[in-house]
Amino acid sequence: MSSRILKTGLVQQSCGDSRDDNLATSVAAIRALAAEGAELVVLQELHTSRYFCQIEDPALFDLAEPIPGPSCDTLSAVARECNVVLLASLFERRAPGLAHNTAVVFERDGQLLGRYRKMHIPDDPGYYEKFYFTPGDLGFKPIDTSVGRLGVLVCWDQWFPEGARLMALAGADVLIYPTAIGWDPNDSAEEQARQRDAWITVQRGHAVANGLPVIACNRVGHEPDPAGGPGAQFWGSSFVCGPQGEFLARADGDATNLRVDIDLGRAESVRRIWPFLRDRRIDAYAGLTQRYLDHQQD
């Protein structure tokens, strides 16, 4: 099987209160990665602001913006300037009181090719996303670009194998997860390690089960809780793995850029020896469309 190299860059950054400063940090990283040869650059979830979902505050809807909109203008311009396909993540204002957590993809010429609206929305302590984000309504559809078919999902989607599978079945060349996930600083070191390891493991499992490379790009840094709680310590640890779950690149917990080459052609050879899509029992999976199967004894 022939190689098809995707020259990829990930931007793992910390975010402050200034949208302009956060975007400037992203733009500088995009330029740096393009100078290193990146053809696809991936930004983390909600990279234009702090992770505001630690609290429920109607005033924070002011952070939302239309797509296209001001951030899209900046990102489109840098994609065109750097001749890269760019994946970004925005708080989309669709209508008054209607907003989404939305990933957008720009082509090398700056064209907005498509968007993915986050499908799975968490509602946990420190992650009150259901207050802000309406669940996505665009389905699990890869976005076609000049560098391949991108199976774009977002953060909490990482824990659900169904989304990864549907992207694979729709012909995605790679699964990509812009992310904002971290620890409660009050958790023990052992619990923190378990959480991070679970996050890495489940995504490597998506790579293995679907015979596809996976890109996970997370944010870093401590972000205070406006309500006075302990805040969130985002753990970084962005990584890229191949179609057998093998690590191709890994970051630690600091702000950094990752440049990694992904051989998209390996998926073909891996799927020939591990033909999971061939052996799926699609005649026996009807129960997957149910919330829960209540088993009763005969």
CATH of the domain at 175: 3.60.110.10
At 46-95, the pLDDT tens digits run 999 999 999 999 999 999 999 999 999 999 999 999 999 999 999 999 99
At 145-171, the pLDDT tens digits run 999 999 999 999 999 999 999 999 999
Q: Are 112 and 106 in contact (CB under 8 A)?
A: yes
Strand partners, 95: 98
CA angle centred on 156, ends 142 and 57, rounded to 5°: 115
List, by residue number, the catalytic residues.
45, 118, 155
pLDDT of residue 297: 53
Name the burial class of residue 296, with classes exposed (0-12), middle (13-18) and buried (19+) by CB atoms within 10 angstroms of its CB. Answer: exposed
When divided into structural domains, the chain yields a total of 1
The CA distance from 90 to 76, in Å, is 13
The answer as to whether 116 is a domain residue is yes
pLDDT of residue 294: 86
The answer as to whether 298 is a domain residue is no
pLDDT of residue 295: 77
Q: Which of 16, 131, 142 is nearest to 85 (CA)?
A: 142
Mean pLDDT calculated for residue range 10-24 = 97
Q: What is the biggest distance separating any 2 CA atoms in the chain, rounded to whole angstroms?
A: 67
Domain of 267 in residue numbering reads as 5-279
Predicted confidence (pLDDT) at residue 296 exceeds the cutoff of 90: no
The CA distance from 46 to 43, in Å, is 9
Predicted confidence (pLDDT) at residue 15 exceeds the cutoff of 60: yes
At 212-259, the pLDDT tens digits run 999 999 999 999 999 999 999 999 999 999 999 999 999 999 999 999
The CA distance from 248 to 210, in Å, is 17
The answer as to whether 54 is a domain residue is yes
The answer as to whether 297 is a domain residue is no
Q: What is the pTM of this model?
A: 0.96
Predicted confidence (pLDDT) at residue 1 exceeds the cutoff of 70: no
pLDDT of residue 52: 97
The answer as to whether 286 is a domain residue is no
Segment holding 112, helix H or strand E: strand 112-117
The answer as to whether 284 is a domain residue is no
Q: Pairing state of beta strands 256-263 and 5-12?
A: antiparallel
**3-class SS of residue 139:** coil
- Single-letter code of the amino acid located at 85: V
Percent of the chain with pLDDT over 90: 96
The answer as to whether 294 is a domain residue is no
| Cβ density class 248-278: b for 16+ within 10 Å, e for less | bbebebebebbbbebbbebbeebbeeeeeee
At 122-138, the pLDDT tens digits run 999 999 999 999 999 99
Residue 143: count of CB within 10 angstroms of its CB: 21
Mean pLDDT calculated for residue range 113-121 = 98
The answer as to whether 144 is a domain residue is yes
pLDDT averaged over the chain?
96
